[in-house]
Amino acid sequence: MELADILSEDSVLVHDKVRDKTEALEILADQAASVTGQDASTIYEALAARETLGSTGLGNGIAIPHGKLPGLKGVSAAFLRLKQPAEFDSVDDQPVDLVFMLLAPAGAGADHLKALARVARLLRTDALVEALRSADKPQKLYALLTAALPSQNAA
């Protein structure tokens, strides 16, 4: 699975005034709704429900919120780069500035997990994370994200 298969350039956003996790998830849910045709509040509720199980703020300023939705056709993604880091209840208690959201159909098991593993592996690449933090245009962020990791059949 290539990231370009689940992430469109329209789903890469840059914001400069996001205060907290709730606002970040609302922005991502609104964007995902426009791409998937799903209801934004339903998407937000799925993401928020997952957050109640434990924060998806992984540390190092990175979060990978995710959720499953009935009726979704396939795995879908959105990326949000925050110019000012926001509180996200991360495991390291540090604010987040890179947020990669994943949505999967309710019955998706392996595809959802493969996408999650791929994104987590991608965002552990220090050079890429630094480049993402330096970029402030959605087109550049999209290019970095989709070209960063060659396809791996084992993923």
Catalytic residues: 66
Distance CA 145, CA 112 (A): 18
Dihedral angle of Cα 141, 34, 58, 134, to the nearest 10 degrees: 20
Distance CA 151, CA 35 (A): 24
Angle at 14 between CA 12 and CA 19, to 5 degrees: 125
Residue whose entry in the numeric block shows the structure tokens 């045709």: 37
Beta strands 96-105 and 7-15, pairing class = unpaired
Within a 10 A sphere around the Cβ of 76, how many other Cβ atoms? 23
As to burial, measured by CB atoms within 10 angstroms (0-12 exposed, 13-18 middle, 19+ buried), residue 114 is: middle
